[in-house]
């Protein structure tokens, strides 16, 4: 019974499906020995059900696969038994075995007040971790929509929305400023990629950059004056 519970079954129908297993002779009986209709897949066909040690013995087994949600105890699963000789099993229908998360500080450009979330999802093979995550996200969105009712909130404009000619030069890459190689590399190594990143820093901030000396500061100051930004 414990071995049967460890068979990971994926059903493509909401209706109960009957399966049949028949095997004769010595050796292990595997989940892959079950005769499967088109609606059923087994994610772990190498799962051992039992071992036969009599060469003349034939094992015959009929099983019913059903769909559900969460956990179903033996008492609940045996309420609708059709045959009195059926053995009911408690079942875990969720394909997600474990979820771990880790939140850590991260940096995007000059913005250091950010966090990165890493999720690790383990499943039983009947669903990929990506599918599990996307379905969980869809369920969450639907729940929030039900709570929000008819209330709607307009999305915030994109960061580039409303840009005018006065700040168009802020998007110029550092590589296009014709700075000396030493100064340009010092800026790029400190994640300063555009003029916008550069003007966001004060002179004291620039002096604290790794590999950025007084000559580089003078060169940058002259270039910003030339660009009038």
Write out the chain's pLDDT in tens, 229 residues: 999 999 999 999 989 999 999 999 999 999 999 999 999 999 999 999 999 999 999 999 999 998 888 888 877 766 665 566 788 888 888 899 999 999 998 877 677 788 889 999 999 999 999 999 999 999 898 898 888 888 877 765 544 444 454 455 678 888 888 888 888 888 888 888 888 888 888 888 888 888 888 888 888 888 888 877 6
List the chain domain ranges: 2-92, 96-148, 167-227
3-class secondary structure for the chain? Answer: CHHHHCCCEEECCCCCEEEEEEEECCEEEEHHHCECCCCEEECCCCCEEEEECCCCCEEEEEEEECCCCCEECHHHHCCCCCCCCCCCCCEECCCEEEEEEEEEEEEECCEEEEEEEEEEEEECCCCCHHHHHHHHHHHHHHHHHHHHCCCCCCCCCCCCCCCCHHHHHHHCEHHHHCCCHHHHHHHHHCCCCEHHHHHCCCHHHHHCCCCCCHHHHHHHHHHHHHHCC
For residue 209, the model assigns a pLDDT of 84
Q: How many CB atoms lie within 10 A of CB 155?
A: 6
For residue 22, the model assigns a pLDDT of 96
Rounded to the nearest 10 degrees, what angle do helices 214-227 and 181-189 cross at? 90
Q: Where do we find the tokens 């590999």?
A: 211
Q: Where do we find the tokens 């599918």?
A: 131
For residue 87, the model assigns a pLDDT of 83
For residue 98, the model assigns a pLDDT of 94
pTM to 2 decimal places: 0.56
CATH number of 167-227: 1.10.150.20
For residue 29, the model assigns a pLDDT of 96
For residue 129, the model assigns a pLDDT of 93
Q: Write b or e for each residue in 48-57: b if 16 or more Cβ atoms lie within 10 A of its Cβ, otherwise e.
A: ebeebeeeee
CATH number of 2-92: 2.170.120.12
């Amino acid at each position: 019974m414990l071995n049967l519970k460890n068979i990971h079954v994926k059903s493509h129908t909401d209706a109960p499906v009957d399966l049949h297993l028949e095997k004769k002779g010595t050796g292990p009986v595997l989940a892959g020995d079950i005769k499967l209709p088109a609606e059923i897949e087994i994610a772990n066909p190498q799962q051992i059900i039992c071992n036969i040690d009599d060469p003349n013995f034939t094992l015959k087994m009929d099983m019913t696969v059903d769909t559900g949600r969460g956990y179903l105890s033996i008492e609940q699963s045996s309420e609708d038994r059709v045959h009195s000789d059926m053995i009911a099993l408690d079942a875990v229908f969720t394909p997600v075995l474990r979820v771990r998360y880790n939140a850590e500080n991260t940096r995007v450009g000059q913005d250091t007040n950010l966090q990165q979330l890493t999720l690790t999802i383990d499943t039983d093979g009947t669903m990929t971790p990506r599918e599990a995550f996307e379905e969980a996200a869809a369920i969450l969105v639907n729940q929030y929509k039900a709570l929000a009712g008819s209330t709607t909130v307009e999305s915030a404009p994109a960061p580039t929305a409303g840009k005018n000619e006065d700040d168009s030069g802020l998007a110029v890459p550092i590589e296009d400023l014709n700075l000396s190689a030493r100064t340009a590399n010092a800026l790029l190594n400190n994640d300063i990629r555009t003029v916008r990143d550069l003007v966001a820093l004060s002179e004291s901030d620039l002096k604290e950059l790794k590999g950025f000396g007084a000559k580089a500061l003078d060169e940058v100051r002259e270039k910003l004056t030339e660009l009038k930004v």
